Structure 1
Amino acid sequence: MAKRNPETTARNKIINELTAQLQEIHDEVLKATGFDSVHSLHGKIGGKFDQFIDIKNEVISSPEHFISLWLEGYKKNLIDRGAYAENSNLYETYKLLQKYTIFKDYLFIFLKRVYLRNYEALSKKRPLIEDAEIYIGQNNANYGILITPRFANGSWENDKSEIRHFKKQYWSIGHILETGFIIPSKNDKMTFKDIPDYLNFFVNVIVRNSGSKYEMEIAEHYREFVLNHERPENIPLLIPEFRYEGIDVIHKYRLDYTIIEPNDLNKIGFELSPWSTHGQLNGTKGMTQAEINEKAKSNFEKEMTKHKNYFKKHAIFSMIYTDEELKDTKNIFNDMKKYLEPKTSTTQLKLHIFDDFFKNDVTKK
């Protein structure tokens, strides 16, 4: 049985407490405001939050952040109405909120509950549509990772309308358990029954196919890390063989490993560059020193172009490890672990809106 998410449990407990608080004061609020039912009351304060907040693009970090955005959107809506603002139902509710403290208290509790009920959708940064699918692996053994995959007209695509509602952390272990790998141009998937099943495929099929002993060692470090973690589903994927040109069979580059951080969606690449495959020159017999130097220069420029193109197209910063560092892949994995633990993002709240909204008539400015 999957381990219960303690954050979800705690959040549900708070939601229940907020519901109890609303029930305790809703009769008093109805009496003060003159609304005839709780349904009518909630229609006035809860039916338009997506009108006041750009929920498709905002990443909302806390209930306070949500409330401040709601108030700011409400204020802007009134101001934009100009001379007609005072004739609107919106203005009528606004004046009731200014007049009755109990109604303001009810609003804050209600909006806090709205936020917590929609926490997963509101608090996550959503990837751009063009970044919502990635492809990995060797030629003829490549796989796709989408967020809301569906097969239509002979190919895979994301259901764009559902990306925001995806409940798992994007590009995490939980993500791959939810979606599996899609098989390009074929209505088929590679799915996994549990975390050990996925990790076995990750190590012994995808990474093993690369033929790199260094990639294999790091894959084993990752498997051990995930299996011993308290919250394994939230760990970002260690993405092997990220394909620079996407699904195209003919492509220029692959990164050995990539991590996409769950909160801000930053991409960090890890390139393992032993001299034997990335620097050593073969076929130099009979070449002049100048020709050898020119060949070495060409190889170096090719390698640097690879990393620059990854950064320009995908905003992937790559960390490069050479022979001396590759002697101990555990140290390399320790670098990776810095990006495998989710970070808490913070957003500066516009706290002034709280006082401004309730103390001054915004339509008079």
Structure 2
Amino acid sequence: MAKRDPNKTARNRMIGTLKEKLRELLPKVLADSGFENEQSLNAKIGSRNDDFFDLQNDVINSQEQFVSKWLEGLKESALNDGVVSDLSLWKKIKAKKSLKEYTILFLKRSYLKHFEELSKNRPPIESAELWIGQQNANYGLLVTPRFKDGKWENDKSEIRAFSNAYWTIGHVMKTGLVIPGKEKIFKFNDIEQYLLFFQDTLVRNSGSNHEYEIAGHYCDYVRASDTPELIPLLIPEFRYAGLATKHVYRLDFLIINPYTLDKVGFELSPWSTHGYLGKLQGLTQKAINEMAADNFAKEIRKHRAYFKQHEVFCLIYTDDDLKNPKKLFKEEILPFLQTEKPQNQLSFQILDEFFED
């Protein structure tokens, strides 16, 4: 049986308390404000959220912030935009103490009911889809995938309501991987099926033994976890140019923190594929140095491009690092997989205990 989240339990208790207070205030509020019933009153207040907030992008960290932004939106609409119905509501709230109290309590309850989706960082629309894999063997990882006009896109209005932590095992288990240009989704029946596909299809196709070994250590880590669905994905072969036919760059591995959305890339760069210079016979030392410098410049351009275009900070590992893949995974990659929710999130448990009668 899943362990209950004490913070969520406390939040639900606070929602119940606010509901009771609203019911106590209701008769006087209806008499003072002229609203016919509870449904019409609540609908009037609650229906304006989409207009007063940018619900796709705003991150709201407290009840007070939610109330403040809502009131600012109402004032702007009433006094500057001249929306008659909002002007009427604004005047009533200003004039009637009971309605003012009811509105604030209602908004606080609304925030608590939608806390998870309102308070979490959400990927911007342009960053909410990732394309991975080799040419003609590539897949898309989206947040809220839908097939429209012959191509995949996110349902933008639903990104904020996505229930799983972004870019985690739980994420891919919910969405699957989409097939570009076709209304097909590669779904996984269980985590083990995904891990097999990850290592023996996505990673093995790269032809890199180093990547394959790192992928194996990642799979072992996920299998040993009590909460594998919360582990960030080790995203293989992240395509710099997405679905563009002309291949530019691919990144060996990418991890995105599900809470901060910070991105870190891992590039395994053995000399044999990233530095070796062939056909040197007859070349001067100057020409050889120029070839080596050109190779180095290409590698640096790649990592600079990933940072500028996708805000991915890349870590590079060379032959000495790759001698011990297990150590590399444990010391360099694992820390980025051990993520926790930021500690600045509200503790509803302590608030509930402090204000308990």
- Per the TM superposition, whether the score is higher than 0.5 is yes
Gaps of 5+ in 2: 346-357
Matched, 1:262 2:258: yes
Kindly tell me: are residues 165 and 311 of structure 1, through their superposed partners in 2, closer, same or farther at Cα, counting changes over 3 Å?
A: same
3-state SS, counterpart of residue 144 of structure 1:
strand
Matched, 1:160 2:150: no
Matched, 1:336 2:333: yes
Matched, 1:322 2:322: no
Where does 1:285-304 land on structure 2 (aligned, <5 Å)? Answer: 285-304=281-300
Where does 1:123-162 land on structure 2 (aligned, <5 Å)? Answer: 123-162=119-158
Quote how far apart the aligned CAs of 1:30 are.
4.3
Q: Does the 8 A contact of 1:150 with 1:158 survive in 2?
A: yes
Where does 1:147-296 land on structure 2 (aligned, <5 Å)? Answer: 147-296=143-292
3-state SS, counterpart of residue 264 of structure 2:
strand
Worse overlay, 189-198 or 154-163: 154-163
Distance 1:14 1:233 in 2: 28
Letter in 2 for 1:43: A
Per-residue CA deviations over 1:45-66 (Å, capped at 9, x if unaligned) read 3332333323232111233332
Worse overlay, 138-147 or 104-113: 104-113
Per-residue CA deviations over 1:60-88 (Å, capped at 9, x if unaligned) read 12333322322332343444268x99963
Aligned to 2:110: 114
- Percent identity over the alignment? 50
Letter in 2 for 1:71: L
Q: Does the 8 A contact of 1:261 with 1:342 survive in 2?
A: no
Distance 1:9 1:210 in 2: 46
Aligned to 2:73: 73
Kindly tell me: are residues 237 and 38 of structure 1, through their superposed partners in 2, closer, same or farther at Cα, counting changes over 3 Å?
A: same
Q: Does the 8 A contact of 1:61 with 1:345 survive in 2?
A: no
Q: Does the 8 A contact of 1:177 with 1:192 survive in 2?
A: yes
Worse overlay, 142-151 or 294-303: 142-151
Distance 1:289 1:81 in 2: 72
Aligned to 2:60: 60
Per-residue CA deviations over 1:282-309 (Å, capped at 9, x if unaligned) read 2223322222111111111111111111
Worse overlay, 297-306 or 124-133: 124-133
Distance 2:313 2:195 in 1: 25
Letter in 1 for 2:336: Y
3-state SS, counterpart of residue 263 of structure 1:
coil
Quote how far apart the aligned CAs of 1:185 are.
1.9
Distance 2:85 2:13 in 1: 39
3-state SS, counterpart of residue 45 of structure 1:
helix
3-state SS, counterpart of residue 134 of structure 1:
strand
3-state SS, counterpart of residue 54 of structure 1:
coil
Match of 1:305 among 301, 308, 316: 301
Q: Does the 8 A contact of 2:145 with 2:175 survive in 1?
A: yes
Kindly tell me: are residues 187 and 42 of structure 1, through their superposed partners in 2, closer, same or farther at Cα, counting changes over 3 Å?
A: closer
3-state SS, counterpart of residue 74 of structure 1:
helix
Q: Does the 8 A contact of 2:77 with 2:86 survive in 1?
A: no
Letter in 1 for 2:91: Y
Distance 1:137 1:54 in 2: 34
Kindly tell me: are residues 41 and 312 of structure 1, through their superposed partners in 2, closer, same or farther at Cα, counting changes over 3 Å?
A: same
Kindly tell me: are residues 208 and 62 of structure 1, through their superposed partners in 2, closer, same or farther at Cα, counting changes over 3 Å?
A: farther
How many residues align structurally? 342
Kindly tell me: are residues 157 and 9 of structure 1, through their superposed partners in 2, closer, same or farther at Cα, counting changes over 3 Å?
A: same
When the two chains are superposed, the root-mean-square deviation of aligned CA atoms in Å is 3.0
Q: Does the 8 A contact of 2:57 with 2:124 survive in 1?
A: no
